[in-house]
């Protein structure tokens, strides 16, 4: 996990969600919290564990600024966060 944790050093901000095993057994010791702590140990200045995906889009909407680039990386349904974020930003823009 150490090499993986180092791979995020060039990102400005990280939000880590829960890790779910797909069709395989979970790997002992590999958790979102452990990954977050490892990334911090390797010097990342702003990494946050945020739990499940259900609140990720709302959190991002409240955090991102015009011109920011947001990447959602992972397996499974994490891509839905991007779609939800776009919808929330469009709603916000319509009310501004």
Q: What domains can you pick out in the chain, each with its CATH number? A: 2-95 (3.90.190.20)
Render pLDDT for 28-42 as a digit per residue (tens, 0 to 9): 888 999 999 999 999
86-90 long-range contacts (CB < 8 A, ≥24 apart) are 87/57, 88/57, 88/58, 88/61, 89/61, 89/64
Q: What is the DSSP letter of 66?
A: T
Instruction: Answer whether 0.85 is exceeded by the pTM.
Output: no
Give the burial class of 10: count Cβ atoms within 10 A of its Cβ; 0-12 exposed, 13-18 middle, 19 or more buried. Answer: exposed
Q: What is the pLDDT of residues 49-86, one digit of tens each?
A: 999 999 899 999 999 999 999 999 887 888 899 999 99
Cα separation, 49 vs 83, whole angstroms: 21
């Amino acid at each position: 996990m150490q090499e993986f944790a180092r791979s995020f050093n060039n990102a400005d901000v990280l939000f880590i969600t829960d890790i779910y095993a797909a069709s395989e057994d979970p790997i002992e010791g590999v958790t979102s919290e452990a990954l977050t702590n490892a990334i911090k140990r390797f010097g990342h200045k702003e990494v946050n564990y945020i739990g499940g995906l259900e609140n990720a889009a709302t959190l991002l909407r409240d955090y991102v600024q015009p011109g920011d680039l947001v990447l959602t990386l992972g397996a499974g349904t994490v891509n839905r966060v991007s779609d939800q974020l776009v919808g929330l930003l469009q709603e916000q823009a319509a009310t501004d």
